[in-house]
């Protein structure tokens, strides 16, 4: 799912990227693992732009 979100973000398909972020977020909430929460943060950062993206990558 992360790969789909990243590809969508890089191809300028924000609706697809946002859908993938929602799915990753839902999975992270269900599992609650550190890995899943990290994947969510990564996905949100990739789908964001500018200062918001910079802040999420930190």
What's the rounded Cα separation, in Å, for the pair 46 and 53? Answer: 7
Banded model confidence at residue 58, pLDDT cuts 50, 70, 90: confident
What's the rounded Cα separation, in Å, for the pair 46 and 37? Answer: 14
What's the average model confidence in pLDDT over 38-45?
A: 88
Q: What pLDDT is recorded for position 30?
A: 94
Q: What pLDDT is recorded for position 54?
A: 86
Provide the CB-side half-sphere exposure for 7 (13 A, CA).
Answer: 4
Which of 29, 50, 49, 51 is closest to 40 using CA atoms? 29
Q: Give the pLDDT confidence of 1-22 residue by residue, as tens digits.
A: 778 888 888 898 988 988 989 9
């Amino acid at each position: 799912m992360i790969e789909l979100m990243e590809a969508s973000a890089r191809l300028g398909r924000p609706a697809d990227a946002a859908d993938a972020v929602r799915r990753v977020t839902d999975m992270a909430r269900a599992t609650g693992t550190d890995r899943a929460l990290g994947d969510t943060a990564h996905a949100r950062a990739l789908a964001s732009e500018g200062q918001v993206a910079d802040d999420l990558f930190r």
